[in-house]
């Protein structure tokens, strides 16, 4: 049986809620064969990150060559790429092997506001990754870092989306979860022609670890199937909404979203 294949290039989360663990769980839920290239190993759980241990650059490149020589993915997503040099090397191999349907989750700002990537890495993200992106899915702080625009209203978010589109991305999704108020959460989808608001009810929960990883992985899985980008993004939005709404209690801190909510609870909606 031939299957669609998706590759995640990201960090490992020992707690299982984000990173490649979240991506592979999501690929599995969509019936897509998942592969991974690990950029860094993290020691973390629901209460925090205890350590980050990057894979050597040689190890990163070896993993990318192994995939490229045998297992051509139908879609690729990137998460935590660790540094500017890792970003440049990742982009080089994506282009070298002709991989398409690239989804960029620009993991650069932690939920608590800490900056995970320096200015050199942010420059590399704009220079090397943005031009090869089918879809980019920043949250508001990440979009601010990539564009230099302070996003404090919808007009500013729309302007930032245009900047990212002009930087090379085919589709831009700026997530709205960081807007504090309101009963609903709206993500902005921009394709260079029109803006679409993807609106869902805000869920009051502390169990949101891995939200961004899971959302972008769901888009990647849909693209691997051959779905159009707009459809993939809209379906992924519903998938992550259910993953948040039907939460699971794991650990004593900020737990993960429920990756199997789609299959167990919400499948009939689609």
Residue 206: Cβ-neighbour burial (10 angstroms; 0-12, 13-18, 19+): exposed
208 catalytic, yes or no? yes
- The full DSSP string for 123-161 is HHIIIIIGGG-SEE---HHHHHHHH-----SHHHHHHHH
C-beta of residue 211 within 8 angstroms of C-beta of residue 221: no
Starting from the edge strand earliest in sequence, which strands make up the sheet with 171-174, in order?
Answer: 48-54, 33-45, 5-13, 75-78, 102-104, 135-136, 171-174, 184-190, 195-201
Active-site position among 77, 126, 134, 175:
175
Task: Reduce the DSSP state of residue 208 to 3 states and report it.
Answer: coil
C-beta of residue 255 within 8 angstroms of C-beta of residue 249: yes
46 catalytic, yes or no? no
Active-site position among 15, 167, 176, 212:
212
Active-site position among 211, 214, 237, 255:
211
Report the C-alpha gap between 157 and 179 in whole angstroms.
Answer: 11
205 catalytic, yes or no? no
Q: What angle do the packed helices 140-147 and 154-166 form, to 10 degrees?
A: 60
C-beta of residue 181 within 8 angstroms of C-beta of residue 146: no
220 catalytic, yes or no? no
The residues, any chain, with a CB within 8 Å of residue 59's CB and separated by 6 or more, are none
Report the C-alpha gap between 231 and 202 in whole angstroms.
Answer: 22
C-beta of residue 177 within 8 angstroms of C-beta of residue 139: yes
211 catalytic, yes or no? yes
Hey, which residues are catalytic here? Answer: 175, 208, 210-213
């Amino acid at each position: 049986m031939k299957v669609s294949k998706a590759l995640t290039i990201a960090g490992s989360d020992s707690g299982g809620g984000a990173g490649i663990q979240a991506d592979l769980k999501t690929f599995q839920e969509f019936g897509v064969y998942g592969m991974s290239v690990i950029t860094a190993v993290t020691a973390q759980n629901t209460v925090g990150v205890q350590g980050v241990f990057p894979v050597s650059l040689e190890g990163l490149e070896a993993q990318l060559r192994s995939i490229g020589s045998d297992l051509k993915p139908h879609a690729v997503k990137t998460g935590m790429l660790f540094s500017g040099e890792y970003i440049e090397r990742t982009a080089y191999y994506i282009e070298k092997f002709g991989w398409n349907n690239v989804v960029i989750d620009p993991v650069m700002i932690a939920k608590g506001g800490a900056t995970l990537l320096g200015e050199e890495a942010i420059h590399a993200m704009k220079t090397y990754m943005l031009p090869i992106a089918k879809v980019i899915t920043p949250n508001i702080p990440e979009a601010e870092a990539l564009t230099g625009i302070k996003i404090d209203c919808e007009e500013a978010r729309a302007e930032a989306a245009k900047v990212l589109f002009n930087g090379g991305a085919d589709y831009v999704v700026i997530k709205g979860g960081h807007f504090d108020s309101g009963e609903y959460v709206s993500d902005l989808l921009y394709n260079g022609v029109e803006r679409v608001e993807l609106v869902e009810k805000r869920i009051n929960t502390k169990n949101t670890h891995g939200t961004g990883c899971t959302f972008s992985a769901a888009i990647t899985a849909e693209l691997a199937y051959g779905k159009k980008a707009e459809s993939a993004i809209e379906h992924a939005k519903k998938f992550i909404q259910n993953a948040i709404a039907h939460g699971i209690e794991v650990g004593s801190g900020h737990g993960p979203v429920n990756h199997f909510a789609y299959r167990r609870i919400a499948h009939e909606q689609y």
